[in-house]
Amino acid sequence: MDNPLDSQLFSYFITHAAQTLNIYSETNNPFDGFVIDMAIGNTGLMHSLLCLSASCLLAHQPSSAQEIVVRHSHHFDRAVVTLRKGVEAYSSDNSTQNADCIMLQTILLALEAIVTGEIHGSYRCHLLAAQRLVDSCGDLSSDVQSFARQFLQYHNLANTISCLDPVNVVKSSMQGCQTETAEQGTFSGSCVDGILHGLLDPMSRTRQVRDAIRYHRGIGNSRWFMDEQLLSLALGVETQLRTWQSRLQPNTPQYWSSLTYRQSAYVYLYRTIKPSKASAELTQVVSEGLSYISLALRDVTRSNGMNGWVCGVLFPPLFLLGCACFEVSQRQLVLESLEDLHACNQRTNIVHARAILEEVWSRMDAAHGADDAWDWEAVMKDMSVDIMLS
């Protein structure tokens, strides 16, 4: 830190950004723990941290002084340069410290692209690099390995449910993927593992069903259900979701968040395999999901950020629920919840999500329902919007 503004950015990261970026519960937040500690001892990581902090500050206070914009640009450029040098150095010195710093820099730069709300997919290269590092690097410390794995679990899922060509497709167990501990026999009490436990697999299978149905519809075949293998896959997902139970302590923010994800997973399947029209069943599922979001958010105190991590994990399921709202009253509740999330973390991508939902709703309201009203990924492509809904 060679500028007075850098001290301000570092302080802002500690007091604010670390909390708004958190998706790991109040007691297990890497951003105000080892990320800061390691950045103090590594120039490249510090540049990445200050760059991300500046992006968070500019998102929270768009009228910030031009000097902040200048420092952001400086730290971004230096972060990219030092990351490249770090990768080159790692080839000759594959120490755990070097590996950890490379991974953390990659994650912070991915978050920087997400926070800014840039709509042309600048997050992609960082998300891909992070996945490759996790898959190939055996030199990460246990803390950074766990942090990176959970970061990728959440962001890969958010990307998979909202993009025609996701960066890293979340694989189902039937594809031989055994990387997510949340989908194996083990169980972690940390936020992401706990909330997504047992749901990654059915949601990844739904993505397979969705892609296959999109193909059938693309060639003019509306009778996709005549494909026995595809129908069996869809019915299997429905069974998984019907028998799923949260393993978290009841009546906690994590518990309500996990139920929200279950409801959104059902919506994800329903909007994929059923006609794009209102039904009592769909209305009930959405209503229950929105009530769980309300319960999860009730303990969030905007003034001091207590339980603010809840805001960080509810965006993807809220978006899915929104894509199933045929009732005007439910749409209003979705918009209000988006405002609550935006008040917590000031993410620009939440503003973009509202515009996407309004376009989806417009197609849902078209006479007899537009043929593409179910396909919000295609809607986003039509709008030339490639953002991370996280």
For the stretch 6-56, pLDDT in tens is 999 999 999 999 988 988 877 788 999 999 999 999 999 999 999 999 999
What pLDDT sits at residue 181? 41
**With contact defined as beta carbons under 8 Å apart, do 279 and 318 qualify?**
no
Residues 6+ apart with CB under 8 A from 271: 323, 324, 374
What pLDDT sits at residue 188? 56
User: Which band of pLDDT confidence, cut at 50, 70 and 90, is reported for residue 97?
Assistant: confident
Find the length of the chain: 390
The token duo for 252 is 């906690």
In a 13 Å sphere around the CA of 146, the CA atoms on its Cβ side amount to: 17
User: Which band of pLDDT confidence, cut at 50, 70 and 90, is reported for residue 176?
Assistant: very low
**With contact defined as beta carbons under 8 Å apart, do 232 and 174 qualify?**
no
Tell me the percentage of the chain whose pLDDT exceeds 70.
Answer: 90
What pLDDT sits at residue 301? 54
- Please, where are the H alpha helices in 161-190? none
306 compared with 48, residue with greater pLDDT: 48
pLDDT tens per residue, range 247-305: 998 988 889 999 999 999 999 999 999 999 999 999 999 999 999 999 988 866 544 55
312 compared with 33, residue with greater pLDDT: 33
Asked if the model's pLDDT at residue 310 lies above 80, the reply is: no
The token duo for 255 is 């518990």
Residue 96: phi and psi, rounded to 5, are -60, -40
Of 335, 325, 334, give the one whose Cα is nearest residue 283: 325
3 state SS of 188: coil
